[in-house]
Amino acid sequence: MRLILTALLFVGGLFFVAVGAGFLFDPATSGADFSVIPDGIVGHASLRADFTAFFVVGGGCMIWGGWKRKGDPLLVSAALFAIAFVGRAVNVIAMGTYDGFWLPMLIEAAATILCLTGSRVLPHSAFTELD
């Protein structure tokens, strides 16, 4: 069970880091895949910075947690993907559905559940108090 969990975390993390790299190296194409079109230099900079940060940090913490078998970094990934899921849910309530709206929500929910499960199963760092 633990081996499967760490493998899923690692592979999922690689997927998200690859998505983030797509935004870093080709923000226009990656943005179009997400229905986000950059508006000039500022738009390209925002896609490169914000989307890359989200996906690389989320995926990187999944890789780190899976590779080192540590639950701590998985809480970062879980928080990022849970907030993204909530944002999409609010959008569905406020604006309604659109074609394929459920797929990104499914991916974010699965990533959140996977990270929270990993955080509970894998050990956490021991913190010591300073005198």
Summarised one tens digit per residue, pLDDT across range 11-67 is 999 999 999 999 999 999 999 999 999 999 999 999 999 999 999 999 999 999 999
- For the chain, the average pLDDT equals 94
* Contact criterion met (CB below 8 Å) for 6 and 66: yes
End-to-end CA gap in the chain: 39
| pLDDT given for residue 124 in this prediction | 80
Q: Where are the domains of the chain?
A: 2-121
Torsion of CA 99, 80, 87, 19, to 10 degrees: -30
- What pLDDT band is residue 131 in, cutting at 50, 70 and 90? very low
Percent of the chain at pLDDT > 90 equals 92
Only one residue has tokens 């995926």, namely: 59
For the chain, the 3-state helix, strand and coil shares in percent, each to the nearest 5, are 80, 0, 20
CB 9 within 8 A of CB 66: yes
Q: How far is CA 79 from CA 13, 58, 105, 120, in A?
A: 14, 9, 14, 14
